[in-house]
Chains A and B, each alone.
Chain A
Amino acid sequence: MSGPAATSTGERSRASTQRAEPALPRLLAGIQPQGALTLDEHVAVHGPMPAAAGRGRRRDREQAATLIAEVARAGLLGHGGAAFPTATKMQAVAGARRRAIVLANGAEGEPASLKDRTLLESLPHLVLDGAILAAEAVGADEVIVCVCESAHEAHGSLSRALDERARGASGRAPALSLTTVPSHYVAGQESALVNYLSGGPAKPTFTPPMPFQQGVRRRPTLVNNVETLAHLALIARHGARWFRELGTPGQPGSALVTLSGAVAHPGVYEIEHGASLSSLIAAGGGSTARVRGALLGGYAGAWVAGELLNGVALSDEHLAPHGASLGAGVVLLLSEDACPVAETARLASWLAGQSARQCGPCVHGLDALASTLDELAAGSAGSRATQRIDRLASLVARRGACGHPDGALNPILSALHSFQAEFADHARHGLCEACARPGELPLPERPVTDARMRAAVSQR
């Protein structure tokens, strides 16, 4: 596959005449193949952090409200997977009576995603800027950066970045700290993170109260994905209008995506929302095999397969008719050599194993789905397997304390829909030749760690 307009920036720059530099990269500007940008290098790329909203002892509520309003005008949506409006969250926390806490959520437990880890490893100061600005805007006196315990390099970069800031003594208000969280899938869920940082297990809790009402140590807590905070740091510098120069009206700006699977240069790319899938694949050096389907959004996302792949644009508006979304920015290409039935069965088993095992319908339902899919792949499920899957799906949906059971249904049900012929074939004849091959979907035993490409960009 080759894209029509992978990196041509001419039209864009003409549209915004004041700006000589190319519109992308934004977040990945100045990124190095190895190592992190120092504070000085970071300031050289982006300029200093804008004047504090709440500088000094008296918090200037008007200025703080200004940043939240600017984020609202920018239309920034969360990049952790749910695409929730960031300003709405900030507003809720700012309105609370008690002193707030900000969590920079870098607990990326998704084996197919590398973008948060890459951001923290390479550009820690951009995330810290965003977290400090968010804290000032909502009146928080504490920022906790949460990193996956397996992300050693990210942890190293961040602790060095925090040391640099401590030496610089910027005088900015919030206290900054760094903590590691378990690397299992649901640990990054908001309430699980809050639970863990309050001394409990890294498992979701029953809500309400939502974290913005009662979070870490019972204080109102703003939980933002680290990429979301990085965007916020740039909105504070350049404003909402600049932010909207890229992207779609409903989903402005750019996004980090983890491109993996059957592509020449798997890695983390920054795209404009609405960029075509083919331009992203072209930026990644092209596909290495015929592509059977793309899993979009991650392991709570959905498949797009066959001819539908040709017209795919990477924004939630364009993906909604496919039942998909950009989610946490995962774009995973499955080759024609892989068996989508075996891949789905493996993924379902992994997802069942990632249940926090707190809610009955999730524990029993996902286990039953996984074993039904195993039987289906082996051809031993009987003629009613798809009805059984539909019934199990209805028993699982919306019955967990967190979104995991619902998220797990997405790739399973969309695989059944996207790969109907393959599933029907397995139901009749059992295992196929491709079933014996090692799985293509990255799971913890085979994560996407070899994806080192970091700076390429893709536009519409």
Chain B
Amino acid sequence: MSQRVRVNPIACEAHGMCAELLPERITLDEWGYPIVDETPLHGSEVAHAMRAARACPTLALLLERAGDERRR
């Protein structure tokens, strides 16, 4: 079962930890907010993604099952 990362943009306060810990997937925009590649993670990236999610001070980085998207 593949996973992906997603940001809750309301919770995010641009601390930028995620881009430090998961640069393969996350870069920062000119205001410091994460630009996230939401395609499924490779197996080798999952552990880094979990660490990044845990490190977020506002818990705004989410690890989700890929294909769970229900946004309209």
A residues near B (Cβ < 8 Å) are 82, 84, 204-208, 210, 358-362, 364, 395, 399-401
Contact = CB atoms under 8 A, between A and B. Distances in A.
Contacts of B14: 360
25 contacts: A84-B72, A206-B8, A206-B9, A206-B11, A207-B70, A207-B71, A208-B71, A210-B70, A358-B10, A359-B9, A359-B10, A360-B9, A360-B14, A360-B31, A360-B32, A361-B9, A361-B33, A362-B9, A364-B31, A364-B33, A395-B30, A395-B35, A400-B9, A401-B9, A401-B10
Which A-B residue pairs are the 7 nearest by beta carbons? A359-B9, A360-B33, A364-B31, A358-B10, A206-B8, A208-B70, A401-B10
User: Do most interface residues of chain B lie in helix, strand or loop, or is the interface mixed?
Assistant: loop
A401 B8 contact: yes
Nearest to A367: B31
A380 to B, nearest CB: 20
A395 B29 contact: yes
Contact of B9 (A84, A210, A399): A399
A204 B9 CA distance: 11
User: Do most interface residues of chain A lie in helix, strand or loop, or is the interface mixed?
Assistant: loop
Interface string B31-46: 1110100000000000
A395 B35 CA distance: 8
Contacts of B35: 395, 399
Given A205-B10, A360-B13, A395-B30, 8 more contacts: A206-B11, A210-B72, A359-B9, A360-B32, A395-B35, A399-B9, A399-B35, A401-B9
B17 interface: no
B4 to A, nearest CB: 14
Contacts of A206: 8-11
Contacts of A395: 29-30, 35
Nearest to B14: A360
Contacts of B30: 364, 395
A400 B8 CA distance: 9
Contacts of B29: 361, 395
Contacts of A362: 9
A208 B70 CA distance: 6
A362 B11 CA distance: 13
A204 B11 CA distance: 12
B70 A361 contact: no
A359 B34 CA distance: 11
A401 B9 CA distance: 6
B19 interface: no
B5 to A, nearest CB: 14
Nearest to A207: B71
A400 B72 CA distance: 12
A210 B71 CA distance: 8
A101 B68 CA distance: 25
A333 to B, nearest CB: 31
Interface in B44-72: 70-72
Contacts of B9: 206, 358-362, 399-401
